[in-house]
Amino acid sequence: MTHDTMSESTLPIEPQIFTRKSLKLVSWNVEGLNSPIKRKKVLQYLKKLDPDIIFLQETHWTSPNQSLRAPWIGFQTSSVHTQKSRGTTILLHKRLPYSDLLEINDPEGRYTFLALTVGQEPLQLLNIYAPNSPNLTFFKSLLPLLHLHDSSRRIVGGDFNEVPDPILDRAPSRTMARGRAQHTGPTFLRSHFDLDDVWRSHHPMGRDFTFYSDPHKSFSRLDLFLVSSLLSNRALRTDIGPITVTDHAHITLEIILETPVPYSRNWHFPSHLMTSGLFTSHVELAWNN
């Protein structure tokens, strides 16, 4: 009895290397992560969304030792506060090839800053949870941070606790003059760093919202991604999800990478070989020998 020699391509034994052409980001106000049940729900939801980078606000963590744990999380850095009402974190998926990390976390639990290189592309990430009071003090305090690195690839995301446009971004709409919007935090950052409200650019007259206030019976678009024009021009899509698990909807942003980055997947046994007579005969021969 003779056995034909199997080609190397029939039975791959090395992990395959893939390239990723885009970067997917998610931002979400999770309204507290101290409950094990809540953490489980949030992790399940995030895994389903499958982002590369995650911004979370209102973790309500009071210790830097607190964190989310899941096999797919490769890196996380967080700001915490003594009061269980703040806290921000940035998570990176383990498949993401990154280097040159610089992390800065606000001792007041209002922001997490991360500078890194993805593949060959330097990025500057800032995740914020702005105060409720509509004033510019907090946003002005971010200027030195954003000036640390002269970056044409900035992504500022999170819960701004203000709407960019009182007419389009709130329901019922506010009748105040649009000129008031010139004094909001989003407008302040946009003007200082040439940032684009990418969701609004993709939906010029769209009316979709990320938060519902039951006391005021109103909807607002408080959660935003503001990105540099260089990245905004490469935005594939940006969406607002449903309000579920927490009182805020998540938002997503997908950006085309300047250079596709390689990543490896875990190797899985090619199940089709189990129906291959040639393969099974080789296994039997090896087993008998």
Return binding residues for Mg(2+).
Answer: 29, 58, 159, 161, 247-248
Identify any residues that bridge with 123 across adjacent strands, giving them in sequence order: 116
Q: Judge contact between 265 and 16, C-beta under 8 A.
A: yes
248 is known as an active-site residue: yes
- Write down the catalytic residue from 60, 81, 93, 248: 248
- Written as one string, the DSSP assignment of 217-273 is TEEE--EEEEEEHHHHTTEEEEEEEEE-SSSBEEEEEEEEEEEEEEEEPPP---GGG
Distances (CA, A) of 91 to 38, 46, 149, 240: 17, 11, 21, 19
Does the active-site annotation cover 159? yes
CB 73 within 8 A of CB 54: no
Which residue in 81, 93, 106, 129 is the catalytic one?
129
45 catalytic? Reply is no
Could you tell me which residues are annotated as the binding site? 29, 58, 159, 161, 247-248
* Cβ atoms 133, 202 nearer than 8 A: no
> Which listed residue (159, 169, 196, 223) is catalytic?
159
Annotated catalytic residues are 129, 159, 248
